């Protein structure tokens, strides 16, 4: 046999309304409705907060920009100051160089003036001495001895067995008169045989200066001796000796 147990039929669930909250909790969770004044006040507070944040940020940016500006300004100032200092030093060097050049030019000009004055003085002395030389040949006795000494000196310089002698045409007879004594004196001083001396009767030394030809070639006296082949010449005129003396007295540059 089959035993069947019958369960009672269940109906639809019943609705239970929520239980009310305690008064304390309900007062905390439920806020009263805000009016327009409160909303406006809260908005103003938010605006002031945003403005304050913006001002602080702007101040930070301004301070940072001011610092960067001051740093860059200082760098530019130092760079320009360095450039000005370098330019000043360059111009100062140029001024110093210009001063040295001007001083050197003035010093050279002064030296040239001094040398020119010395040269003029030496030339004036030479001209005066040349005029005095013209008077030497007027005294025949002393001039004759001078010619002999000049011939001996020239022979000692040349030391040739035979020489050619030239003199002024006016001195020809004086040279002939002192020729043998000059040869003997040379032989004694040089301890050698007296050389053969040939007087050039075709070519003579220039005459003394004349007023008509003051700038032409002239000779104040003396002799010129040369080897027979003409390769060795000893110019022993009074004018040549005067030139040698004054060349030694010329101012050195």
pLDDT for res 19: 58
pTM above threshold 0.85: no
Quote the mean pLDDT of the chain. 84
Q: Does residue 30 register a pLDDT over 60?
A: no
- d(CA 152, CA 181) in angstroms, rounded, equals 9
Q: Is the pLDDT of residue 18 over 60?
A: no
Q: In the prediction, which pLDDT does 172 show?
A: 94
Handedness of CA 20, 21, 27, 30 (dihedral sign): negative
pLDDT tens by residue, 96-143? 999 999 999 999 999 999 888 888 888 888 888 888 888 888 888 899
Residue 211 has pLDDT above 80, yes or no: no
Where in the chain are the domains? 42-133, 138-209+217-249
For residues 197 and 40, the model is more confident at 197
Residue 195 has pLDDT above 60, yes or no: yes
Q: Quick one: tokens of 172?
A: 């020809």
The architecture CATH gives domain 138-209+217-249: 2-Layer Sandwich (3.30)
pLDDT category, 39, cuts 50, 70, 90?
A: confident
The pLDDT score that the predictor gives to residue 3 is 46
The whole-number average pLDDT for the span 238-248 is: 88
Q: Which pLDDT score is estimated for 24? A: 53
Q: How confident is the model at residue 216 (pLDDT cuts 50, 70, 90)?
A: confident
Q: What is the mean pLDDT of residues 181-192?
A: 94
Please report, for residues 124, 154, 181, the alpha-carbon distance to residue 145 in angstroms, rounded to integers and kept in the order given: 29, 14, 10
- Note the pLDDT of residue 213: 55
**Average pLDDT over every residue of 72-82:** 89
Q: Are 130 and 220 in contact (CB under 8 A)?
A: yes
* pLDDT greater than 80 at residue 16: no
Asked if the model's pLDDT at residue 2 lies above 50, the reply is: no
Q: What is the C-alpha radius of gyration for the chain, rounded to an integer number of angstroms? A: 65
Using alpha carbons, select from 169, 228, 238 the residue that is nearest to residue 202: 169
Q: Is the pLDDT of residue 20 over 80?
A: no
């Amino acid at each position: 046999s089959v035993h069947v147990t019958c369960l009672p039929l269940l109906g639809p669930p019943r609705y239970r309304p929520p239980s009310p909250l305690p008064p304390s909790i309900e007062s905390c969770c439920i806020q009263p409705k805000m009016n327009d004044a409160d909303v406006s006040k809260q908005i103003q507070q938010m605006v002031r907060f945003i403005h304050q944040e913006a001002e602080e940020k702007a101040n930070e940016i301004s301070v940072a920009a001011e610092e960067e500006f001051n740093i860059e300004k200082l760098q530019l100032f130092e760079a320009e100051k360095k450039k000005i200092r370098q330019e000043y030093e360059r111009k100062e060097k140029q001024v110093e160089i210009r001063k040295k050049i001007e001083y050197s030019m003035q010093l050279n000009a002064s030296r040239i003036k001094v040398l020119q004055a010395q040269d003029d003085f030496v030339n004036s002395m030479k001209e005066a001495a040349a005029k005095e030389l013209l008077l030497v040949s007027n005294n025949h006795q002393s001039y004759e001895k001078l010619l002999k000494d000049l011939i001996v000196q020239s022979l000692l310089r040349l030391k040739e067995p035979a020489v050619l002698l030239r003199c002024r045409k006016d001195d020809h007879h004086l040279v002939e008169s002192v020729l043998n004594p000059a040869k003997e004196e040379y032989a004694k001083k040089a301890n050698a045989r007296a050389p053969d001396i040939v007087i050039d009767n075709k070519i003579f030394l220039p005459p003394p200066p004349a007023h008509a030809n003051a700038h032409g070639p002239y000779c104040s006296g003396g002799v010129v001796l040369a080897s027979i082949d003409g390769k060795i010449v000893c110019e022993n005129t009074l004018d040549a000796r005067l030139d040698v003396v004054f060349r030694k007295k010329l101012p050195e540059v």
